[in-house]
Structure formats: C-alpha cells, structure tokens
Amino acid sequence: MEIIRIKDLLLRTQVGFNKHELGKKQDLLLNVAIYYSTEGEEESDNPSQALDYRTICKKIVHMVESTHFALLEKVANDVANLILEMERVEKVNIEVDKPHALRFARSVSFTCSKSKNIGRETTGFDESV
C-alpha cells in the first residue's frame, strides 16, 4: 500500500456555529494522507493507472466550499467518506485545521482516520498527516 499526501490545501467555507461565524466564510487547511493500492503503477509510469490527486483535490474543494459545517469533525468525516468512495483507496487520514479559531492559538485542528475495512479509527493512526 502506498501513500499520497495533500498538504495545506487552503479552503474557504462557512464553518462554525457561534453567532459571529454564521454567514461568513473562513479559512480551513486540510492535510490528507491517502493509502491506496498502486497495482504496479510505480513500475509502469503510466498516468492513466495513477491515482488522480488533482481530481481528488477538485472534489474536496467543491464539496467543502459549497457546504456549511457547524463542526470541524463533520468536515473531516465528509472529506474522508468522499475519498474512500474511490476504488483503490483503502484508508485515509484527514486533519482539518481552522486558523485563528482561538485568540491566543495559531489554530485548532481535528484529525481522524477512516478505512474501508473498519470504518472510523479512534486510535493508532499516523498523526503526521
């Protein structure tokens, strides 16, 4: 199993439930680790056999930026489910980072790991997404 990482994907969406957050788009940073079967593509150098991470990014951007979320947990869960729909993907780690969510902190983030085989994992995932 191989891993593709998408780092610091910057998105703007409506996220939050506090009065001052409603109706406003805010920045989110996503870090994604996609575990998938290469099926020999690393030897063939054929783009048609590769996992298309550009398309994955476009799907993530469209879904997140067109939806209002109350919680970071929901963002992570929905992105994980979207990626797991892809045929060769076995597991995904998602970190959703909300910059400036707290006054004296750079950001607040939520991380989850989901797999086609066992669903959401609560422990034992790689925290370095």
Residue 44 lies in a domain: yes
Number of independent structural domains in the chain: 1
Residue 34, both tokens:
């996609």
Position 30 scores a pLDDT of: 96
Residue 127 lies in a domain: no
Residue 21 lies in a domain: yes
Per-residue pLDDT reduced to its tens digit, 72-88: 899 999 999 999 999 88
pTM of structure? 0.82
Q: Domain range spanning residue 69?
A: 2-121
Q: Is the dihedral of CA 107, 29, 115, 35 positive or negative?
A: negative
What is the domain-level CATH number for residue 78? 3.30.1130.10
Residue 128 lies in a domain: no
Residue 116 lies in a domain: yes
Per-residue pLDDT reduced to its tens digit, 94-115: 999 998 877 888 888 999 999 9
Contacts 24+ apart (CB under 8 A), 100-103: 100/27
